[in-house]
């Protein structure tokens, strides 16, 4: 009797372990969502009129600067990322792991636009230099710099809500 009980238990264990489908884990990519950390206003240099107002995410730590907008699949036209550096110097960016086409706007320590890199291609690792020293870099959706008629000399003001 004991042997038949043991045999029954062994059979049940064998049947349940091989008859049940094992569930496969599906790893879904995590969407990095926009985190509003401040507000930025762009002004025309010639008239001081407001060009546009943006909600901004601020990149001012090593990690934030290194990752920027990488791994994101979209950004609204009223959103941007502002890179804040401690000093003025020539800057160079690239689009590694960045899936959104962008315009890069380089600004000096007085927050005036000094150069552009427009329509940066997603995932392209080609260097996108500032050409002149800059302390800030504003990343917006590609085509907006042209749409807003931004020019060298236009300026920004921002509020950091962090």
Is residue 118 within a helix (H) or strand (E), and if so which, with residue range?
strand 113-120
Q: What is the pLDDT of residue 32?
A: 84
CA 124/CA 85 separation, integer angstroms: 23
Cross-strand pairs, 129: 92
Each residue's pLDDT tens digit, 21-40: 556 666 666 678 999 999 99
Please give the backbone phi and psi of residue 96, each rounded to the nearest 5 degrees, phi first: -55, 130
Each residue's pLDDT tens digit, 37-67: 999 999 999 999 999 999 999 999 999 999 9
Cross-strand pairs, 156: 42
Side by side, which strands form the sheet with 50-59? 113-120, 102-107, 134-141, 79-89, 50-59, 38-43, 155-160
Statement: residue 15 has pLDDT above 70: no
Statement: residue 6 has pLDDT above 60: no
Statement: residue 119 has pLDDT above 80: yes
Candidates 95, 93, 59, 52; CA nearest to 76 is 52
- Provide the token pair at 67: 């990752």
CA 40/CA 77 separation, integer angstroms: 13
Evaluate whether the domain defined by 26-160 bears CATH number 3.40.50.300. Answer: no
Enter the pTM of the model. 0.81
Domains of the chain, residue spans: 26-160
Q: What is the pLDDT of residue 143?
A: 98
Determine how many CB atoms are found less than 10 A away from the CB of residue 144: 18
């Amino acid at each position: 009797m004991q042997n038949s009980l043991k045999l029954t238990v062994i059979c049940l264990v064998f049947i349940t372990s091989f008859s049940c489908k094992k569930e496969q884990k599906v790893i879904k990519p995590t969407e990095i969502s926009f985190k509003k950390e401040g507000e930025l206003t762009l002004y025309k240099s010639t008239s001081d009129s407001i060009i546009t107002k943006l909600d901004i995410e601020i990149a001012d730590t090593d990690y934030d600067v290194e990752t920027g907008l990488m791994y994101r699949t979209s950004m609204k036209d009223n959103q941007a990322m502002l890179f804040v550096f401690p000093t003025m110097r020539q800057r160079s960016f690239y689009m590694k792991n960045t899936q959104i086409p962008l315009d890069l706007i380089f600004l000096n320590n007085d927050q005036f636009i000094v150069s552009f890199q427009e329509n940066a291609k997603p995932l392209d690792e080609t260097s996108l230099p500032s050409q002149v020293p800059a302390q800030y870099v504003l990343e917006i959706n590609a085509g907006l710099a042209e749409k807003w008629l931004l020019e060298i000399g236009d300026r920004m003001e921002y509020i950091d809500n962090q």
